[in-house]
Amino acid sequence: MSQSGDIIRKLSKQGYRLTPQRMMILEVVERADSHISAEEIYTQILARYPHLNISTVYRTLELLKELGLVTETDLGDGRVRYHSMKKGRHHHLVCQKCGAIIDLDESVLSPLKVALLREYKFSADLRHLAIFGRCANCR
């Protein structure tokens, strides 16, 4: 964790405490192959360290979101998934028929972001979106 120092500083600078639970949760999210659910984070940590409650996982993920370290997205499978911001921004197209998930570059949404800013003076938080619809094969 060469980058932990940054995060530790970021936390303590804003008056947040560095607890073992927080460190482990952040570590699991950063290590994760890709999008990981709260339950998955919870059971992974519990296997090695039994002093953790699921509500702490949710509260910590909320904090990491506010600090801009993770993003969340709902791919439509009844649970929210989290993703380390360090691993790059992107979005998803989710086919409602076959379930295919197509990754989408951030740039596709920049015109929308610009339009909302210009026409409504609204700064949209389009960090990690899931857009539902039908893929090429399912129409």
Per CB under 8 A, residues contacting its own copies are 93, 95-96, 102, 104, 108-109, 111-112, 115-116, 119-126, 131-136, 139
| 5 or 15: CB nearest DNA | 15
Please list, residue by residue across 97-135, b when 16 or more beta carbons sit within 10 angstroms of its beta carbon and e when fewer do: eeeebeeeeeeebeeeeeeeeeeeeeeeeebbbeeeeeb
In whole angstroms, what is the distance from residue 48 CA to residue 112 CA?
A: 44
CB of 103 to DNA, least distance (A): 20
CB of 65 to DNA, least distance (A): 10
Site residues for DNA per CB under 7 A:
12, 15-22, 37-39, 51-56, 58-60, 62, 78-80
The neighbour count for residue 28, using CB atoms within 10 Å, is 18
**DSSP annotation string for 55-112:** HHHHHHHHHHHHTTSEEEEE-SSSSEEEEEGGG--EEEEEETTT--EEEEEGGGGHHH
22 binding partner (options its own copies, DNA, none; Cβ < 5 to 8 Å by kind): DNA
134 binding partner (options DNA, its own copies, none; Cβ < 5 to 8 Å by kind): its own copies
CB of 119 to its own copies, least distance (A): 7
| 54 or 131: CB nearest DNA | 54
60 binding partner (options its own copies, DNA, none; Cβ < 5 to 8 Å by kind): DNA
Q: Which amino acid is at 59?
A: R
